[in-house]
Amino acid sequence: MARKFFGTDGIRGETNTGNMTPEIAMRVAQAAGEYFRRGDHRHRVVIGKDTRLSGYMMEAALVAGFTSVGMDVIQTGPLPTPAVALLTKEMRADLGVMISASHNPYRDNGIKLFGPDGFKLSDETELAIEQGIVSEPALVPAAEIGRARRIEDSRGRYIHALKQSVSDETRFDSLKVVVDCANGAAYQVAPSAIWELGAEIITLGVTPNGTNINDGVGSTSLDAIKRTVVEEGADIGIALDGDADRLIVIDEKGEAVDGDQIMGLIATRMAEKQALRGGGVVATVMSNLGLERYLDSKNLRLERTQVGDRYVLERMKTGGFNIGGEQSGHMILLDHATTGDGTVAALRVLASLVNSGKPASEVLHVFEKVPQLLKNVRYEGGRPLDKDSVQTAIADAEKALDGKGRLVIRPSGTEPVIRVMAEGDDADQVETVVDQICDAVKAAG
């Protein structure tokens, strides 16, 4: 069945248009509340948000929806996505909701839902909720309307959980760390947790005003943190996104370290301690071939899934893995979180840095990246990937790269765009095959 509301990561869009209006938010809450109202206990939902101006509006609409179908609401205020997932499980809630559009600009917002186990909902559950959104809500009698309350210790609870993700002996007293919170959900908790573990902190992106989230700061805008790390003589930089489920690291030279390198580092450190499960790492088809070769050299394997952290998590759960993630910096460490947690991953990186006694540039760049090129091709209509000319170009590219690289072709799920990615040992050859496929798609579209 085609999905009308939910995408690969909840419901997302420009605020006050399409599916991201207060009316839709209330209907989502009513449908989700009705779905999760099972059993005779008092039902509750945890609602967190990032720092977007529209968060106030969407939160109020969700509260109205949930209470109208008899669910009590616990509001946390601004808090990272993984913290909401954690509190949902810890507080024995039936459901968790995060109001965020992650790394998108402030004009966008989104609704992410978590089940009572702290994991994102399955496709089947989301489809069932979609059916409820377009149906009449089952409003409860006046005496059964839910109550709403705001808890004041949510940040403290999460900071405690963050510190529990590293050993009791771990301290960061020797480190000078730049922490960029993207003016987003982690602007209080991430610097606090790292400071409480002893590090000297320099902060960026910790003055949210409702419209500056991800604006020139954070994991998708690295110029400011690169410059600050070098100017301040810091040991390392930590860049999170708007809802703090992603991490990009900056070494002491101002060079960015992506999710592939971070996963490689954490996985090998855990393997040395015999704490790595599943025999390797789960990542998407976009992860660099260099990571695969590096893990193979350590007798570990890389399992690939389609793009999207939910698919990474599904494979982790079925295969018994405890590390997975995406090149973009979305990392899932299942021993400590049920979804991607940029701050947990950052603490593991800082612990590795302290334990090594070496500079970040030596510790973090664990493998040589294979030349990789991604281009997007916009088309007018039809199905260009089905055309014989495009299929021939793809077959020629695969033959050219055989044994020396990889090719990934995938259509966008939200716009008429074909994404063409190739990687291989020969950078010129990679560029040639990508351009040939792009030209074929343009001609066919």
Question: What positions carry a catalytic annotation?
Answer: 102
Adjacent-strand bridge partners of 302: 281
Most distant CA pair in the chain, distance: 70
What does the alpha-carbon distance between residue 133 and residue 142 come to, in Å, rounded to a whole number?
22
196 and 171 in contact (C-beta within 8 Å)? no
339 and 120 in contact (C-beta within 8 Å)? yes
323 and 270 in contact (C-beta within 8 Å)? yes
Who's near 235: CB < 8 A, 6+ residues apart? 174, 175, 176, 177, 252, 353, 359, 360
Question: In 3-state terms, what secondary structure has residue 421?
Answer: strand
Q: Two tokens at 79?
A: 């808090």
**If you write DSSP's letter for every residue of 115-165 in order, what string do you get?**
-TTSSBPPHHHHHHHHHHHTS---PPPGGG---EEE-S-HHHHHHHHHHTT
**CB 381: neighbour CB atoms within 10 A?**
7
What does the alpha-carbon distance between residue 286 and residue 342 come to, in Å, rounded to a whole number?
19
**If you write DSSP's letter for every residue of 36-58 in order, what string do you get?**
H--SSSPPEEEEEE-S-THHHHH
Q: How many CA atoms lie within 13 A of 25 on its CB side?
A: 29
Buried b (16+ CB within 10 A) or exposed e, 199-213: bbbbbbbbebeeebb
What are the backbone angles phi and psi of residue 340, rounded to the nearest 5°? -60, 135
What does the alpha-carbon distance between residue 83 and residue 337 come to, in Å, rounded to a whole number?
9
50 and 184 in contact (C-beta within 8 Å)? yes
- Left, alpha or beta for 95 (phi > 0: left; psi -120 to 50: alpha)? beta
Who's near 9: CB < 8 A, 6+ residues apart? 102, 110, 112, 120, 308, 309, 310
